[in-house]
């Protein structure tokens, strides 16, 4: 039976400046409107980086903003709400751990340090280990972000040390095409998928920039899931900027449906990832 497709939307990220790309959703209102439209278009999960409109829309890990954002998205949609613990390359490790205080359904957990353009995205083993255990204790489902093939080995080590994450599933996301990480090629994706440990129950992939479409097509063909959004890609086509994240979700849903793997519902996404029910009834 064909597996329906989990479409994750990563609408904002930490790298693009609002001043350079005004359609980037950075306020709480814009984020909620984006999440609603993306859910209607077929998304099952939203990967969130919070910005501070009072500080030039810069990335923030302010605990009140994080908590308000989680609650607003949970109130307005049925999407799985995932907070980034990667933050921006400038965020200290201790602050990144406090993201769990906002009680998201899910958190990202990058499985190793990686060069990130001219910067370094730092994820030493001790940090990953602390985050892994704290997510287990707080019943938050991690999504393991793999930017490098070596990150697959680091994931293996985390599972061996700490057992399965909360929910009993292991979902990973290949983030390909970051300058300094694994390339956004089909060959690299195939190599990564072949290396996954048997505990992995589902995987998705995204390609940065022009790798966006080829990686989406390859992931679908290989039985994987998709991540799209302005965090990863600002161009819809050559010379045509993305105007709204929903455009990318709509295109992903269309592609998935054409390949007989239509978008999964938010209920199916919750089941796939094993997230805890935190919505008010
Ligand atoms: N902004 C990047 C440095 C994550 O969300 O966990 C890290 C990132 C990964 O986006
Ligand atoms: Zn992110």
**What does the pLDDT read at residue 2?**
76
Four-CA torsion 96, 102, 105, 111, nearest 10 degrees: 10
pLDDT in tens, 169-188: 999 999 999 999 999 999 99
Mutation choice for ligand 1 from 8, 99, 107, 108, CB with most ligand atoms inside 8 A:
108
- Ligand 1, atom 9, residue with closest C-alpha: 86
Residues 253 and 263: beta-carbon distance below 8 Å: yes
Atom of ligand 1 nearest to the CA of 59: 1
* Ligand 2 center to 48 CA (angstroms): 7
Burial class (CB in 10 A: 0-12, 13-18, 19+), 15: middle
Q: How do beta strands 225-228 and 141-146 pair? A: unpaired
| CA separation, residue 114 to residues 82, 123, 145, 153, 231 (Å) | 21, 8, 11, 14, 17
Which residues line the pocket of ligand 1, CB cutoff 6 A? 13-14, 84-86, 88-89, 108, 110, 116, 121, 145
Q: What is the DSSP letter of 27?
A: S
- Ligand 1, atom 4, residue with closest C-alpha: 86
What value, to the nearest 5°, has the Cα angle with vertex 166 and ends 162 and 169?
Answer: 95
Residue that is written with structure tokens 């994987």 in the block? 224
The SS3 call for residue 124 is coil
**What does the pLDDT read at residue 44?**
99
CA-based radius of gyration for the chain: 17
Mutation choice for ligand 1 from 145, 229, 230, CB with most ligand atoms inside 8 A:
145
**What does the pLDDT read at residue 281?**
72
**What does the pLDDT read at residue 108?**
99
- Which segments in the chain show pLDDT lower than 70? none
* Ligand 1 center to 109 CA (angstroms): 9
Residues 90 and 127: beta-carbon distance below 8 Å: no
What residues have their beta carbon closer than 5 A to ion ligand 2?
84
Four-CA torsion 98, 100, 104, 105, nearest 10 degrees: 160
pLDDT in tens, 5-55: 999 999 999 999 999 999 999 999 999 999 999 999 999 999 999 999 999
Atom of ligand 1 nearest to the CA of 10: 5
| CA separation, residue 78 to residues 105, 119, 225, 264, 267 (Å) | 11, 35, 19, 12, 8
Locate 188 and state its tokens. 């690299």
**Sign of the C-alpha dihedral computed for residues 258, 261, 262 and 263 taken in this order:** negative
């Amino acid at each position: 039976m064909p597996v329906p497709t989990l479409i994750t939307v990563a609408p904002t990220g930490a790298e693009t400046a609002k001043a350079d790309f005004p359609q980037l959703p950075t306020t709480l209102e814009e984020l909620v409107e984006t999440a609603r439209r993306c859910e209607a278009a077929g998304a099952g999960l939203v990967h969130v980086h919070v910005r501070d409109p009072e500080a030039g829309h810069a990335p923030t890990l302010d605990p009140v903003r994080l908590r308000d954002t989680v609650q607003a998205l949970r109130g307005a949609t049925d999407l799985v709400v995932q907070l980034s613990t990667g933050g921006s390359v400038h965020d200290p490790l201790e602050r990144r751990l406090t993201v769990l205080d906002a009680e998201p359904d899910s958190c990202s957990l990058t499985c190793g340090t990686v060069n990130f353009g001219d910067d370094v995205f730092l994820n030493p083993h001790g940090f990953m280990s602390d985050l892994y255990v704290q997510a287990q204790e707080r019943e938050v489902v991690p999504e393991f972000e793999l930017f490098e093939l070596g990150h697959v080995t680091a994931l293996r080590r985390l599972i061996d040390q700490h057992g399965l994450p909360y929910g009993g599933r292991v979902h990973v996301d290949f983030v390909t095409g970051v300058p300094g990480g694994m390339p956004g090629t089909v060959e690299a994706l195939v190599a990564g998928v072949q290396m996954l440990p048997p505990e992995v129950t589902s995987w998705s992939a995204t390609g940065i920039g022009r790798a966006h479409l080829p990686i989406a097509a390859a992931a679908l063909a290989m039985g994987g899931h998709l991540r799209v959004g302005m965090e990863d890609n600002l161009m819809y086509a050559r010379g045509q900027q993305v105007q709204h994240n929903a455009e990318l979700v709509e295109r992903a849903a269309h592609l998935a449906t054409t390949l007989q793997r239509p978008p999964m519902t938010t209920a199916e996404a919750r089941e796939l990832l094993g997230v805890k029910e935190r919505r008010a009834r």
